[in-house]
Structure 1
């Protein structure tokens, strides 16, 4: 079983509008509400791939209740730390080919609540064989909180895929206990290193030679429509994907993490792992729903992904 962690989940609300009028009334006929947050997107895709998954994190209030109800409807097992304060809403206004987002910051956790979740997290590790940690940290938790989770996981012998950015990601790379896999994009890689990183193969190789990345077994550098550059141990790979018609790119990175997690958990060969991860990312892109794939199309797109080892 895979444990999918979302520390700052939300209800994602999508408002599609033909035209977004400022300082006026905008009426919406169709509203889509989803149990959201990057880790919940990951959990949903893992479940759609037929793999057992357990969703965890911190939830509160009526919004938290709604998230649990939605997960239960999708038969996704869950075990959250419950707090009294409300979880957050995240609103996306889709208009004129653009997406305007209004994101609540979510509740501020106390030191005690942070400690309580670490205890729950350690208990849940006895049930799982791999962990994904996705997204931002709630306010109130220290920037090294993910690193603390990775340290606990390493003591239990459980690999962690970390998909975050900024200080939480940097802190997780500064210690001896490293995540098993990370999935930065080019922008996040540039922020980590304090320098502009471009998509050239040699430049990416030089960037990943930095000491921050020593000891990480899998580094998947997401390059959107260009695919990915991947370092597995001492081997580098270029992964390319076909041109596809994009319906909704939101959550495609999370779907990629889900595919990566499932394939690694099934002990598939490296090439199959990479093709699976890219395929699930693409399948999310061609669906209207966020964190959703159609597995009937999996083999068709899997065969279109190309993996080339770089000498």
Structure 2
């Protein structure tokens, strides 16, 4: 089973406007409300390909009830820990080819709620093979919380895929997760210098691998991704596509990586599934969705090359 963590979920509200009029009334007839958060995007994509997946995290208030109901309606297994605070909203306004986002901070997690989550998490780890953790930490949790979760997973020999940024990523790396997926800017922040060429990217990945991270994936956007595993580097390149909605493609890549790792595939093939899921998601209007019937045929269009 793949266990997905969404510690700061949200109701994602997507408003599509032909034109955003500042300081005026804007009426919208195209509104999409979904159970959101990076980890839930991962969950939905895994559900699309019929993987054995279960979602956990924190939920509170009426917004939390909405998310639980949405997951139940979609047939997604979940075991969230209840909190006193209200789960947040996140607003995305699509207008004139742009996307303007307004993101609430979300609730503050108490020490008692954090302890309850750790207890539930340890029980779920007994059933899991792979763990994914995506997105920001909610207020109230220490920056070392992902580090704690990685250590708990390591004690039970579970592979932990960490997709976060900033201090949470820096602290998380200290516990040597199985996989991290920084983009080039996040990689530069971790290493302390920019990496633009393939040689520079590999050198940076090698430095991170020395900290104990087994599998490093550097997201390169439309160009695909660079993987570094056990001293070997490889580039996975998707074909050119007409993107419809790229939101959630990074989360979809994590879903593909988890899917491949859970099946015991070699790192190159696991990253190939990551590229497939990420690209297929960009071809859909819905966030966190891939067409299962296209996965294997699209996989044959992915180029994998070894880099010296």
Superposition TM-score tier, normalisation by shorter sequence = over 0.9
Q: Secondary structure of 1:208's partner?
A: helix
Moved more, 298-307 or 141-150: 298-307
Tell me if the contact between 2:12 and 2:35 (Cα under 8 Å) persists in the aligned partners.
yes
The change in CA–CA distance for 1:166 and 1:82 in structure 2 (over 3 A counts) is same
Tell me if the contact between 1:274 and 1:307 (Cα under 8 Å) persists in the aligned partners.
no
Paired position in structure 1 for 2:177: 179
Q: Secondary structure of 1:237's partner?
A: strand
Moved more, 153-162 or 267-276: 267-276
Paired position in structure 1 for 2:135: 135
Q: State the 1:205 CA deviation.
A: 1.4
Paired position in structure 2 for 1:295: 292
- Structure 1 unmatched runs, 5+: none
Match of 1:210 among 207, 212, 216: 207
Q: Secondary structure of 2:132's partner?
A: strand
Moved over 4 A (4+): none
- Structure 2 unmatched runs, 5+: none
C-alpha separation between the residues in 2 aligned to 1:152 and 1:310? 34
C-alpha separation between the residues in 2 aligned to 1:105 and 1:214? 31
1:70 aligns with 2:67: no
Matches within 5 A, 1:1-150: 1-150=1-150
Q: Deviations over 1:22-51 (max 9, x none)?
A: 110000001101100000000000111111
**TM-score normalised according to structure 2 size:** 0.98
Q: State the 1:213 CA deviation.
A: 4.8
Q: State the 1:212 CA deviation.
A: 6.6
What's the RMSD between the two structures over aligned residues?
1.1
C-alpha separation between the residues in 1 aligned to 2:210 and 2:223? 22
Q: Secondary structure of 1:248's partner?
A: coil
Q: State the 1:194 CA deviation.
A: 2.5
C-alpha separation between the residues in 1 aligned to 2:190 and 2:108? 26
Q: Deviations over 1:216-248 (max 9, x none)?
A: 111110000011111011111011111110100
Moved more, 264-273 or 59-68: 264-273
Q: State the 1:271 CA deviation.
A: 2.9
The change in CA–CA distance for 1:281 and 1:211 in structure 2 (over 3 A counts) is closer
Q: Deviations over 1:261-306 (max 9, x none)?
A: 0111011233321211100000000000000111112123211111
Paired position in structure 2 for 1:245: 242
C-alpha separation between the residues in 2 aligned to 1:211 and 1:121? 27
C-alpha separation between the residues in 2 aligned to 1:254 and 1:8? 15
Moved more, 15-24 or 116-125: 116-125
Q: Secondary structure of 2:243's partner?
A: coil
C-alpha separation between the residues in 2 aligned to 1:57 and 1:296? 30
Tell me if the contact between 1:287 and 1:293 (Cα under 8 Å) persists in the aligned partners.
yes
Q: Deviations over 1:105-152 (max 9, x none)?
A: 000111221122111111111111110000000011100000000000
C-alpha separation between the residues in 2 aligned to 1:131 and 1:299? 24
Tell me if the contact between 1:173 and 1:212 (Cα under 8 Å) persists in the aligned partners.
no
Alignment length (residue pairs): 308
Q: Deviations over 1:4-37 (max 9, x none)?
A: 0000000100000000001100000011011000
**TM-score normalised according to structure 1 size:** 0.97
